[in-house]
Copies of this chain bind each other. A is one copy, B any other.
Amino acid sequence: MSQSLAFPDAAYSVKTTSRPLRVAIFGFGTVGRSVARILVESAPAGLELTHIFNRNVHRKRVDWVPSSVAWSSDADALLGSAEDAPDVILELAGGLEPAGDWVRKALAAGKSVITANKKLIAYHGLELEAIAAAHGSRLLYGAAVAGGIPVIPGLENGLSGDRVERVEGILNGTCNFILSKMEAGAEYGAVLAEAQGMGYAEADPTEDVGGFDARAKLAILIRLALRAQVHPDEIETCSITEVSAIDFSYAKDLNCTIRQIARAERIDGHLAATVRPMLVPLVSPLAWSRGTENMVITTGHYGGDVVFSGHGAGGHPTAVAVVSDLLGLAHGSCRIAIPSTPSKVGTELEVPHYIRFMVNDRPGIVAGIASALAHEKINLNAILQKPGYPLDRLPFVVTVEPCRTSALKRALQEIGRMPALLEKPLDLQILEK
């Protein structure tokens, strides 16, 4: 039995078309610049950066891009069928329009499109796939979820043989930055300002902290992992702004931290999905992510848990995913078409909860809460109360054993009628490991 080595010279030959693919970057912001940087520095065979499109493109011009690249503010010209028009559009502008219009026109003109636009794919992905299929063009969006972490290629090419039953993850770097800083003792307002100063958060942070950015990404993962077509707006979201320093302190007592978790699961034939701040046990990989890191954990019926983590955002990591899709195109690879079916999405789960109350202390509060929970057959697990708070504004925490979301909602409505409550209780699911 020989272990000798024979390496034929041309074993890995790169398939190229007769002429290099002409590539246009649409949107010369952070990601667009990083993509251009990689293409200029690595000059992959079989493709050529020919155009950069941006509104008022003269403001964007840089000197390190070869002079052969044409700078343009005329989208329609680039999306047309002129002989020197690009073959591939890299849509890196983001947002639903005009990006959606460009992508539709490009696909209908037989051009391939690579996009990092999670919102466009979450809301219009299937429509765009259909246009691509009708015109023999191709649509790739490996960068749309978790940027530089190959979650989409992993699902399409490595996990399609499994039956994925759950997907959960940290899909928004801004929230993770804020919450991991709050875990270390910082206050929400100060961290948000820091994140804005570093360019991690927008002036209006609603898309991120409200869970809408993660929701779009989760809708894409639901399609590829759980094979269900859902409308992103049907996924329930809850903002991280309701979490305060005291919650991290209580979470720590419970051997947990708090993260914005995007989560979808098939239970008894139903699909439940949500994006919310949750209590995450410190032993879970999800608790280890720091800063702007992203992480996705899939749970397969056959293969069990698979964890992907890394830099989910930023120009360079996202650009790696875009260029990888582009190399795939140039080398003649093609995506596995994962079938999916339309599905309603609910919120009904059976999980344990952390509920933090803020009360004006008086006798009977615990009895009232316990009675309302018992009425819904919810088992109370622990009552935690830290010393040092004023009695007329006293935070305390109740944890409950796994219970139906709807039952707890009814109990909390009942509890909400108690006059001692100063504000709506903060209800956080506890991730089980």
Query: Nearest CB to that of A295 among chain B residues?
Result: B307
Contacts of A331 in B (CB 8 A): 336-337
Partner-contacting stretch, out of A79-87, A127-135, A374-382: A127-135
Q: Mark A305-343, 1 if CB is under 8 A from B, else 0.
A: 111111100001101111111111001111111111010
Q: Mark A169-205, 1 if CB is under 8 A from B, else 0.
A: 0000000000000000000000000000000000000
Q: Mark A392-431, 1 if CB is under 8 A from B, else 0.
A: 0000000000000000000000000000000000000000
- Contacts known (A6-B127, A302-B316, A336-B333); A328 close to B153, Cβ less than 8 A: no
Instruction: For the complex formed, measure the closest distance between the CB of A213 and the CB atoms of chain B, giving whole angstroms.
Output: 14
Query: Do residues A333 and B161 form an inter-chain contact, with CB atoms below 8 A?
Result: no
Partner-contacting stretch, out of A7-15, A57-65, A252-260, A356-364: A7-15
Beyond A161-B319, A327-B336, 19 additional contacts (C-beta under 8 Å) are A2-B96, A5-B231, A8-B130, A11-B126, A12-B129, A13-B133, A34-B302, A153-B153, A157-B324, A158-B324, A159-B324, A161-B321, A161-B322, A302-B316, A303-B310, A303-B319, A307-B308, A333-B333, A333-B336
Contacts of A322 in B (CB 8 A): 161
Contacts of A14 in B (CB 8 A): 337, 339
Query: Do residues B152 and A158 form an inter-chain contact, with CB atoms below 8 A?
Result: yes
Chain A interface size, as a band, is 35 or more
Instruction: For the complex formed, measure the closest distance between the CB of A139 and the CB atoms of chain B, giving whole angstroms.
Output: 11
Query: Do residues B153 and A158 form an inter-chain contact, with CB atoms below 8 A?
Result: yes
* Contacting residue for A327 out of B8, B161, B317, B326, CB 8 A: B161
Chain A, range 123-174, C-beta contacts under 8 Å to B: 123-124, 126-127, 129-130, 133, 142, 148-163
Contacts of A159 in B (CB 8 A): 150, 320, 324
Contacts of A6 in B (CB 8 A): 124, 126-127
State the number of copies, please: 2
User: How far is it, in angstroms, between the C-alpha of A309 and the C-alpha of B13 when the chains are bound?
Assistant: 30
Q: What are 30 of the A-B contact pairs (CB < 8 Å)?
A: A1-B96, A7-B126, A7-B127, A8-B127, A11-B129, A11-B133, A12-B129, A12-B337, A12-B338, A14-B337, A15-B337, A42-B163, A148-B162, A149-B306, A150-B153, A150-B158, A153-B153, A153-B154, A153-B157, A154-B154, A156-B157, A157-B333, A158-B324, A160-B328, A161-B326, A161-B327, A288-B288, A302-B317, A303-B316, A304-B316
Contacts of A163 in B (CB 8 A): 42
Query: Do residues A306 and B309 form an inter-chain contact, with CB atoms below 8 A?
Result: yes
* Contacting residue for A1 out of B97, B303, B310, CB 8 A: B97
Contacts of A152 in B (CB 8 A): 158
* Contacting residue for A308 out of B160, B233, B308, B340, CB 8 A: B308
Q: Mark A1-32, 1 if CB is under 8 A from B, else 0.
A: 11101111011111100000000000000000
Query: Do residues A323 and B161 form an inter-chain contact, with CB atoms below 8 A?
Result: yes
Query: Do residues A311 and B303 form an inter-chain contact, with CB atoms below 8 A?
Result: yes
A285 interface contact, C-beta 8 A: yes
Contacts of A162 in B (CB 8 A): 148, 320, 323-324
